Amino acid sequence: MNKNESKYFSTAEKMDSALMEILKTKSFEYITVSEICKKAGVNRSTFYLHYENTRDLLEETIRNMMDNFVSYFVPDGKISPINFEESQKDKLVFISEEYLMPYLSYFKENRKIFLTVFENGKLFGFEETYEKLFNNIFDPILDVFKYPESERKYVMAFYLNGINSIMIEWIKEDCTKSEKEVVKIINDCIFGLNNH
């Protein structure tokens, strides 16, 4: 990376961070370019070298956040090949506390931006992240459990949309329930009350 590229990414990171910080206290629709520039320590002309408007910045911020999300789901930050055939089936059920806690922690830490995403009705970057997770993790696991290939996308849509709906409700309540309480709710929805 040359000096200009490094400077570009450094400035973009400052603006991403500024937007995230402002979102903690203010709804996205009321955030101005001037506020972002002041918080990031850059001038307006620099902002417009990078983005057309605040929505462009929001999209980039969310894409970066979703890349970071994969590192929460996969602790080393890389989706590496797992030998699913040799893994015990109970270790491949990702609705345990072990797997859900990092996911819930990430949502809680970034709840304002996730709320902004949900309120704006567009899942910027979610589709791409989901595709990576599906191809490298979920699809091979469903194979181990002998789900027919033609049904796997439906199974994952049901599973992920259900969990995302719980996340939205949790975020709307400003994450007042603990992560452990939310894990219990997810488990109750999937396995039934007192059946896990």
Distance CA 20, CA 146 (A): 42
Class of 1-51 in CATH: mainly alpha
Tens of pLDDT, residue by residue over 67-126, are 776 665 555 544 444 555 566 655 555 567 777 787 788 888 888 888 877 776 555 556
Tens of pLDDT, residue by residue over 14-47, are 999 999 889 888 888 899 999 999 999 999 999 9
Written as six digits, the tokens of 121 are 């009705």
> Given a cut of 60, is residue 4 above it in pLDDT?
no
Written as six digits, the tokens of 143 are 């194979």
| Better-predicted residue by pLDDT, 184 or 159 | 184
- Reference 57, options 126, 116, 130; nearest CA is 116
**Separation in Å, CA 1 to CA 9, 77, 82, 182:** 10, 21, 32, 42
Burial 92-130 (b: 16+ CB within 10 A, else e): bebbeeeebebbbebbbebbbbbbbbbeeeeebbbeebb
**What residue segments make up the domains of the chain, in order of their start?**
1-51, 57-191
Secondary-structure breakdown of the chain: helix, strand, coil percentages, each rounded to the nearest 5: 75, 0, 25
pLDDT score recorded for residue 194: 64
Tens of pLDDT, residue by residue over 137-152, are 778 778 878 889 999 8
| Better-predicted residue by pLDDT, 70 or 134 | 134
